[in-house]
Amino acid sequence: MTLAVIGGTFDPVHLGHLILAEEIRAEFSLDRVLFVPAFAPAHKSAPDPAAGGASPADRLRMLECAIGSVAGFAVDDCEIRRGGVSYTIDTLGELIRSYAPEGKPALVIGDDLIEGFPLWRKPEAIAATADLILAHRSSAEERPFPYPHVWAHNLLIPVSSSLIRSRIRRGLPVRFLLPEGVRQFIEARGLYR
């Protein structure tokens, strides 16, 4: 089985995440794209459930609602089960042990994260452990990146989790930005108000 990993907070997961995953799966002929929600992100502040944000359990449930039985997609909760801050190199090791992929797993990194990648824990080891796929999020430009990588030829979808949270707080519609099950879950739980 060939495998790609997309990590993040998914606060909330939206159609941009799903479209990117499908494009990566198709372009690189992968058997499975694995979504790995972070318990607490290492490079930004964690969502605050006390301020109306989503808990790790909420974010996991939203991913499960979004993916359902979509062929080629799966969710792994290893970082949520581990608790605290997780580091990509540790997660990759755990996923390789759990899934025994054919060859190296692919790790999808958005172009908004490449500037900070050298500051991640053991970036050289990450690049040696996984095939790095850089995905366009902010522009179609292929910027320099000092590690072995390939660029995906993905669509630019101008949707972000922060945009969705902001729209919900302002009472604006989000119906076609999210899978319907995720939208219903957010509404039922009163998230992001």
Instruction: Give residue-wise pLDDT tens across range 101-148.
Output: 999 999 999 999 999 999 999 999 999 999 999 999 988 999 999 999
- The residue segments making up the domain with residue 172 are 3-189
What is the tally of structural domains in the chain? 1
pTM: 0.95
Closest CA to 3 of 78, 107, 157: 107
Establish how many alpha carbons lie within 13 A of residue 93's alpha carbon, considering only the half-sphere containing its beta carbon: 8
- What is the rounded radius of gyration, in angstroms, for the C-alpha atoms of the chain? 16
- Is the distance from CB of 105 to CB of 57 less than 8 angstroms? no
Question: What 8-state DSSP symbol labels residue 63?
Answer: H
CATH of residue 174's domain is 3.40.50.620
